[in-house]
Structure 1
Amino acid sequence: MTTPLTLDTIGQAPKALLHDHLDGGLRPATVVELAAEHGYDGLPATDVDELATFFRTAAHSGSLERYLEPFAHTVGVMQTADALHRVAYECVEDLARDNVVYAEVRFAPELHIDGGLSLDAVVDAVLSGFAAGEKAAAADGRTITVRCLVTAMRHAARSREIAALAVRFRDQGVVGFDIAGAEAGYPPTRHLDAFEYMRSNNARFTIHAGEAFGLPSIHEAIAFCGADRLGHGVRIVDDITIDDDGAARLGRLASLLRDKRIPFEMCPSSNVQTGAVKSIAEHPFDLLARLRFRVTVNTDNRLMSDTSMSQEMLRLVEAFGYGWSDLERFTINAMKSAFISFPERLAIIDEVIKPRYAVLIG
C-alpha cells in the first residue's frame, strides 16, 4: 500500500538539496548565543521566538533586495572560525534530521573576514564543520554527504579571487562556484573572468539568474558565462507561451535549456517571499515539470523562509497534487545535477534514493 503524503511521511523520504545558503539557515537560538559570545549587539531581538519571527517576516518583503537585508545579522555572528564551524555543523545536523542524503551548501567567504580571518581560514572552518556534522550524523544512523559551493557577491569585485578559492579547495570538499546577491544592475557577464577561470580548470559553477531579473539574466548565464546550473531561473516562463488549446510553445532560450538538460535550482517559498512569483500555486515549477525541464526542489534559506526540504515538497504536493513518483523524480533530478563525480551520484541514486522510495511507493 502506498504511504500517504504528509509532512511526517515526506520527512522519511531521502532528499537531495542543491541550493541552500549557509548564512540563511542558522537556528535562531544559535544566532542569539553567538551574538552574546562575540559581542554582536545589532540583533533586532534577543528572545529566540521574537528573533525567529523577525527573520520570517522581514524576509517576506516582496523584493529580493529587502529579502537580503536580514542576512546582515546572520553574517554578523559568523566572523570567527568557531562560529563558522558551529553553524556548518548544525546545518548538517538539521539537514540529516530531515533525511537529506546529499546537499550542496553555499556561502560567500568574502563576507566572513571582518574578524581577521583569511579566505582560506574561513573555508577551512566551514569544511571542518561539515565533516564533523557528517560524522555525527553517521553515528546517529543518518548518512549524509555535504559538499560546499563558494559564492562571490555579484556587486563586489572579488569573483576571480573566489573562483580561485573554489579550485584551490576542490579536493577538500568544495565542488563548485556561484555568484549571488541583487541581480538588477549586476549582470553575470561582469564576472566573465571568474567563469573563464572555472572553465579553464575544468571546474563546475552555477549562477543565480532569472529570479529578480528576467530572460536576459538567464541568457547571459548560459550563452556567455557557460553555467552548468541555474539558481532559481523562474523567469524562463517568460519564454514559454500557452496557446488557447493549452499547448505550450517554447522560445529558443527555453528550448535550449530543456534540450541541454540545464538544471533549475527552484526554491518555491523563497520565490514567493522575494516577489518572484505571487504564490506557490502560481509558481512555474509545475509547468516546467510537466514540460520535462530538469527541475529540482530546494530550500534557499531555511531560517528566512521558515522551511525545510520536507516542507517545500509538501507545499508542492498541496499545490499541484504530486505523488511519490514525482518527488522521487525531482530528487533524482537533483542527484543527476550534483557537482560530485558520476560514480558518487549513481551510488546515491541506486543505493539510497530508489530503494527507499520503493518502500514509500509500496
Structure 2
Amino acid sequence: MVAPATSPSYEQIRAAPKAVLHDHLDGGLRPETIVELAEEIGHELPVGDPAALGIWFAEASYSGSLERYLETFVHTVGVMQTESALRRVAAECAVDLAADGVVYAEVRFAPEQHLALGLTLEQVVEAVLAGFAEGAAQVAGRGGPGITIGTLLTAMRHAARSMEIAELAVRYRDHGVVGFDIAGREAGFPPTRHLDAFEYLQRENFHFTIHAGEAFGLPSIWQAIQWCGADRLGHGVRIVDDITWDADGRAQLGRLAAYVRDKRIPLELCPSSNVQTGAVASIAEHPIGLLHDLRFRVTVNTDNRLMSRTTMSQEMALLVEAFSYELADLQWFTVNAMKSSFIPFDQRLALINDVIKPGYAKLAG
C-alpha cells in the first residue's frame, strides 16, 4: 500500500534544490551591507540600525504607496555605485541564494542605474560578474551542489538606453550575461517603445524576457510576445484576465492565454511581490493555483528578497500552505524554471538530471 502524500516541511523545502529566474540584484541586499556601504560614501539612510532598516524596507514596500515603494530602491541602488560595492553585493547574493538551496539563479540588474559616481557601463557589468564568480567559488568550496548564476542586463523602460544595454548584453554573452530585460513602470511605457532593441537581440540569437502583465494587463503581455518576441514574461500574472468560466465551471482560455500556454511561454510569477504591489489580494487568491492546474509553464520567483522579506524557500512554503502542494509540485516548478532558463540546453539538462531530480528523490525517500 502506498502511503498518502504529505505536505513537505519547511526544512524539506529549504533542502530541496531550487531555481529562480526573476530576482533583482538591487532588491536583495543584506541590511547590514546597506548600512556599511552607505557609511563609506556618505549616503543618508532613513534608519541606521540594520535590523530596523530591514523592517523599514518591508513596511515601506507594503505601505500601498508607490512613491514610498520606489523610495526603497533609492537606498539600495544608491549604495551600489562603486566597483567594490557592486562586487560585494553580487558575491553576497550568490552566497545567500545558495544558502537557501538555490542551485540555479538568473539575477538581473540595470547597469545604467549605477553610474552616479563615474563608473562606465562596462565597469559596472564586470564588477557584478566578478562578484557572482567570487560568491559561487565560496559556495563551491563548502561542498554540495554549488550554484550556477546567469546574469540578465535590464534597461529601464522609461529611459532611452535600451539599444545600448542590449548591445552591452551581447558583448558580454560569453562572460556570464545570459539575457536581457526591460523593467520599470508598465503604464505609459509599453515594450514597443524599445522594439529596435528587441529586433537587434533576435538578429543576434540572444534571449530576453520582458516585465509585462503585472501592473498593466493583457495589452502589455500581447505586445511583449507578438510585437517584441519575448522568450518569457516577467510576472505575466494578468494572463488570467483572458480566462473565463463556462456554465459547467470549466475554464475557457481566450486566444492570448491559449497561445501562451500552447507555446509554453514561461511565466515568471512572484507571489509575495504580486501581493505587495496589489496585483493580487493574497497568496491564497493568487492565480498561480489556477495556472498550475491548467498546466501553463509556471515558475516561482522572489523578485525582491529584501523588500518582500522573502526567499525561494519562503515563496514555496507559502504556496504549500495555500494550495497543499507536495514535493512533486515543487519539483515541477523547479524543472519548469530550468527548462525556461537562458543557459545552453546541455547545461540545463545536467542540472535537471544530476542535481534537481536526485535531490527531490532523496527528500521523497
Q: TM-score range by the shorter chain?
A: over 0.9
- Structure 1, residues 186-215: CA drift from partner, whole Å, max 9, x if none? 000000011011101000000000000010
Report how far residue 243 of structure 1 moved. Answer: 2.5
Aligned to 1:128: 130
Confirm whether residue 290 of structure 1 aligns to residue 293 of structure 2: yes
Secondary structure in structure 1 of the residue aligned to 2:19: strand
Which structure 2 residues correspond to residues 180-219 of structure 1 after superposition, within 5 A? 180-219=183-222
Q: Conserved in 1, the CA contact under 8 Å of 2:7 and 2:320?
A: no
User: What CA distance in whole angstroms lies between the structure 2 residues aligned with 1:242 and 1:50?
Assistant: 46
Alignment of 1:1-362 (within 5 A): 5-41=8-44, 43-62=45-64, 66-142=68-144, 143-362=146-365
Q: Which moved more, 1:58-67 or 1:326-335?
A: 58-67
SS across alignment from 2:305? coil
Change (3 A) 1:155 1:253: same
Q: In the alignment, is the contact (CA less than 8 A) between 1:166 and 1:174 conserved in 2?
A: yes
CA apart distance, 1:68: 2.8
Unpaired runs of 5+ residues, structure 2, are none
Deviation at 1:63, TM superposition (A): 5.8
By how many angstroms is 1:3 displaced?
7.7
| Cα displacement (A) at 1:6 | 2.0
Distance of aligned partners of 1:267 and 1:286 in 2 relative to their CA distance in 1, 3 Å threshold: same
Q: CA deviation at 1:348?
A: 0.1
Distance 1:65 1:239, change over 3 A: farther
Give the count of matched residue pairs.
361
Contact 1:75/1:111, CA 8 A, preserved across alignment = yes
Q: Is the 8 A contact 1:64 1:182 kept in 2?
A: no
Mapped partners of 1:177, 1:109: distance in 2: 11
Q: Deviations over 1:158-188 (max 9, x none)?
A: 0000000100000000000000011110000
Deviation at 1:37, TM superposition (A): 1.2
Question: Given the two structures, how large is their TM-score scaled by the length of structure 1?
Answer: 0.98
Q: Calculate the aligned-residue CA RMSD, in Å.
A: 1.2
Query: Per the alignment, do residues 65 and 231 of structure 1 end up closer, same or farther by CA in structure 2, a change over 3 Å counting?
Result: farther
CA contact (8 A) 2:7 2:325 kept: no
CA distance in 1, matches of 2:14, 2:118: 40
Code of the aligned partner of 1:72: V
Q: CA deviation at 1:47?
A: 0.7
**CA contact 1:64–1:212 (8 Å) conserved in 2:** no
Unmatched runs of 5 consecutive residues or more in structure 1: none
CA distance in 2 between counterparts of 1:232 and 1:66 reads 21
Superposed displacement of residue 141, structure 1: 1.3
SS at match of 2:185: coil
Inter-partner Cα distance in structure 1 for 2:133 and 2:203: 29
Please report how far the alpha carbon of residue 359 of structure 1 lies from its aligned counterpart in structure 2 after TM superposition.
1.1
